């Protein structure tokens, strides 16, 4: 399982990096890919801190925060597209400014959830535990995993589904935007959120059933975030770029033949 997990996370990080290199025009996609790389790297290297209790607990907090950040950012990105097709007012800002504002919102929300786990776990243990295990470098109590990770992820996915359905209904009414770039991005974010939900559903089942199959499926889906991001965003851009180059090559060939 260790080697399987490492292979999945490594492949995910490579795919995220390729997405960054092929999606320079979209800051939301780049940010999502960067957060995915950080989450994969943090989770992979957290196991190297088992020798020190304090460092392991600190890495557990960081991994918890980073995975929440990835899920939350997908919801915030979907919300930006949702604003485009609804009556919710938007303030026109530069891409860099908008990304910084949403990153701040993302950080505050995720830090609040991590803090909730620390506070509740500390109170329940008479301040003997911060809620993160020194033997796994992650959330110690399965119940707290449910309340501070599984449920927030489920909530984000439900919100995404609502925004997707509302936006899709608006798009269907207006024929001129049915093939818009924002519609494609919204659909891609929705598919990513669904895959994330499936991944953590398997993780939840693995915790309570202790079946190796669910654990492997959780590792496969969860470690494949970067691959899913690339397939949703990076691959279409690569295919479009390849199609343009082929069309241009055909035009040049036809022009040369005519001459």
Tokens standing for 159? 């919100």
How far lies 160's CA from each of 34, 57, 91, 249, in Å?
Answer: 21, 31, 21, 41
Residue 255 has pLDDT above 80, yes or no: no
The mean predicted confidence, pLDDT, of the chain is: 76
Question: Rounded to whole angstroms, how far apart are CA atoms 40 and 11?
Answer: 10
Among candidate residues 220, 206, 67, 88, the one with its CA nearest the CA of residue 149: 67
Confidence of residue 153 (pLDDT cuts 50, 70, 90): confident
Tens digits of residue pLDDT in 98-146: 888 999 999 999 999 999 999 999 999 888 888 998 888 888 888 898 8
CB within 8 Å of 123: residues ≥ 6 apart: none
Residue 91 has pLDDT above 70, yes or no: no
Question: Rounded to whole angstroms, how far apart are CA atoms 55 and 61?
Answer: 10
Domain residue limits, the chain? 2-258
How buried is residue 165: exposed, middle or buried, by Cβ count under 10 Å (0-12/13-18/19+)? exposed
pLDDT, residue 236, reads: 65
Give the ranges where the chain is alpha helix by DSSP (H): 2-22, 27-46, 53-84, 95-124, 142-145, 151-173, 181-209, 212-222, 225-229, 235-258
Tens digits of residue pLDDT in 8-57: 667 777 777 777 776 555 777 788 878 887 887 887 788 788 888 889 99
Q: What is the CATH number of domain 2-258?
A: 1.20.1070.10
The residue assigned the tokens 């935007």 is: 177
> What does pTM read for this prediction?
0.76
């Amino acid at each position: 399982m260790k080697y399987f997990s490492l292979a999945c996370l490594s492949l995910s990080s490579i795919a995220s990096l390729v997405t960054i290199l092929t999606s320079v025009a979209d800051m939301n996609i780049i940010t999502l890919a960067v957060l995915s790389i950080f989450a994969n790297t943090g989770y992979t290297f957290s196991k190297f801190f088992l020798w020190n209790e304090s460092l392991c607990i600190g890495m557990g907090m960081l991994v918890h925060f980073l995975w929440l950040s990835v899920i939350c950012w997908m919801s915030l990105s979907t919300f930006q597209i949702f604003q485009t097709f609804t009556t919710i007012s938007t303030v026109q800002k530069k891409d860099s400014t908008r990304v910084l504002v949403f990153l701040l919102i993302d950080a505050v929300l995720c830090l609040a959830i991590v803090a909730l786990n620390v506070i509740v776990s500390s109170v329940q243990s008479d301040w003997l535990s911060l809620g993160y295990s020194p033997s796994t470098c992650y959330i110690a109590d399965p119940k707290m995993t449910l309340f501070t990770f599984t449920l927030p992820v489920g909530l984000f996915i439900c919100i995404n589904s609502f925004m997707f359905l509302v936006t899709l209904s608006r798009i269907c009414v207006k024929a001129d935007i049915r093939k818009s770039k924002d519609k494609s991005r919204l659909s891609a974010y929705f598919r990513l959120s669904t895959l994330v939900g499936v991944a953590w559903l398997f993780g939840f089942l693995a915790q309570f059933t202790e079946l190796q199959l669910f654990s492997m499926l959780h590792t496969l889906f969860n470690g494949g975030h970067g691959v899913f991001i690339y397939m949703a965003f990076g691959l279409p851009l690569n295919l479009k770029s390849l199609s343009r180059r082929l069309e241009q090559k055909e035009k040049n060939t036809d022009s040369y033949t005519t001459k």
